[in-house]
Amino acid sequence: MIKLFRNLDSQQQGFTLIEILVVIAILSVLAGIAVPNVGKMIGRGEAESYQAELHNLQTGVTAMVASSENGALDSDHTDISDMSLVRVDGGSENLTMYMAGLNPDGTVKTGCTYTISRDGNMILQSMPE
């Protein structure tokens, strides 16, 4: 058994400098390709989340206006992110009753602000920085 360990120890060799440089070069090329693409995906994901939230809010506002007695919101709203303030029928119902995916306090998760007219039209006003 001791003879076997001596043979293994004496035959052990390391990597050459060329082999290490080749591995480093390959890893550098892969990192150079991957890092910019990850940054693009993160930015695109944020923009898509803002658009998805706008679509979901617009759907909720449309449903709320359609089921209201007078067919309109109680008032116009400018630069709001708290959807509990959007009300119909003299304040008896608010948008949080028609929406899922809001924070518990009725604010939007993305931090965007919206302008909503009485007839239910929505505009994405500002996005977080």
Distance between first and last Cα of the chain: 67
pTM of the model: 0.67
Tokens found for residue 96 = 């949080």
Distance CA 45, CA 105 (A): 25
Domain boundaries, the chain: 18-126
Q: What is the pLDDT of residues 86-102, one digit of tens each?
A: 999 999 999 999 988 89
77 near 113, Cβ under 8 Å? Answer: no
Asked if residue 18 has pLDDT above 90, the reply is yes
Per-residue b or e along 102-112, where b marks 16 or more CB atoms closer than 10 Å to that residue's CB: beeebbbebeb
How far apart, in whole angstroms, are the C-alpha atoms of residue 78 and residue 97?
20
The per-residue pLDDT for 34 is 87
Cβ atoms of residues 77 and 50 within 8 Å: no
- Region of 111 please: left (phi>0), alpha (psi -120 to 50) or beta: left
Alpha helices, H only, 13-120: 17-67
pLDDT digits (tens, 9 = 90+) for 38-72: 877 877 888 888 999 999 999 999 999 999 998 99
